[in-house]
Amino acid sequence: MTRDLPRRLVALFERDRHPLTLRGAVPEGTGLHEMSFGTASGEPVRGRLMLPEGRGPHPGVLYIHAHGNRPDIGAAELTEGRPALVAPLGTKLCARGFAVLCIDLPGFGLRADEPESARAKAALWRGRSLAGQMIGELSSAFDWLAGHPQVNGARVGLFGLSMGATLAYWLGAVEPRAAAVAHLCCFADLAPLIASGAHDRHGLYMLVPGLPDVASNGAIAGLIAPRPQFVALGDADPLTPPAATVPALRALRTAYAARPDRLHLHREAGGHRETPAMRRALLTFLDDALRPQ
């Protein structure tokens, strides 16, 4: 089962089915760059890229934006933040020497004209999922960032909060080139989440038919091992009750049994939001995991 799991997840998560193509020249030079990619069907996809000072090659972070019932934000989260963050993270990462890319996921940002609900239902009727489209597009964005001439492709990690967290460890499980994965405020096993009723607090994007029968989120995130992984949780977060987080964390610790030093757990008493302590721990983790020592 474990040996076959990555292959099954690549198919379920549609990793290779949603390529993006850059429109225009490859942006280079220090600062913020507004970009546009195109899907295979021709839909434009906004991207925001931040490049630090110096020629590089720099470590990179594929930044996966959150949901938060704010479809208008999308990739703007990189530089403008959102209520669940203590401050915009993209500018902090760039100042620390990271190249950072964030794209509008389907139904968000400049793609919010066709909402999440409509996109998810259409995908499910076709035997696919909106999460699959998201992961497929993020996989293509990872390819692009890792191949940028100012980026060290061997030192590109993934980051996300909430929806971005789930997509980060799902993508990290099927993208072996991701050098490290950091996720905040959305780690829980699906079966106990459903049993608790807390599943109804999550968005339609998260529905991948049959996934709970294939693997738990603890097992999925465990595929990232032994690569460095950072998990931050608020114990009072209504989206991730203890009944669903405890077994997920148990499975994750088991996966890292041979390298427990590469699993970093940060737990607080708070809810579904980043805290200053989480931010400090996250930045330390990314520095240690992705920057040359």
The pLDDT value recorded for residue 170 is: 99
CATH number at 5-285: 3.40.50.1820
Helix intervals (H) in 126-259: 130-146, 163-174, 190-196, 211-214, 217-222, 242-255
pLDDT of residue 37: 98
List the beta bridge partners of residue 233.
267
Sort 134 into a burial class: Cβ within 10 Å, 0-12 / 13-18 / 19+: buried
Residue 138 DSSP label: H
Provide the pLDDT for residue 231. 99
The confidence score (pLDDT) of residue 203 equals 87
Rounded Cα gap, residues 105 and 115, in angstroms:
11
Query: CA–CA distance from 169 to each of 33, 79, 217 (Å)?
Result: 26, 22, 9
Distance of CA 155 to the CA centre of its chain: 16
CA distance 64 to 182: 10
**pLDDT tens, residue order, the chain (293 aa):** 467 999 999 999 999 999 999 999 999 889 999 999 999 999 999 999 999 999 889 999 999 999 999 999 999 999 999 999 999 999 999 999 999 999 999 999 999 999 999 999 999 999 999 999 999 999 999 999 999 999 999 999 999 999 999 999 999 999 999 999 999 999 999 999 999 999 988 989 999 999 999 999 999 999 999 999 999 999 999 999 999 999 999 999 999 999 999 999 999 999 999 999 999 999 999 999 999 77
Does this model's pTM top 0.75? My answer is yes
Q: What is the pLDDT of residue 3?
A: 76
pLDDT of residue 49: 98
Q: 192 near 226, Cβ under 8 Å?
A: no
Q: In what order do the strands lie in the sheet with 181-184?
A: 21-23, 31-38, 44-51, 99-103, 58-64, 151-161, 181-184, 229-234, 263-268
Rounded to a whole number of angstroms, the distance between the first and last alpha carbons of the chain is 37
Tell me what pLDDT residue 2 has: 66
Tokens 């049994």 locate to 257
**Dist. CA 230–CA 160, nearest whole Å:** 11
Alpha helices in the chain (DSSP H): 5-12, 77-80, 90-95, 116-125, 130-146, 163-174, 190-196, 211-214, 217-222, 242-255, 276-290
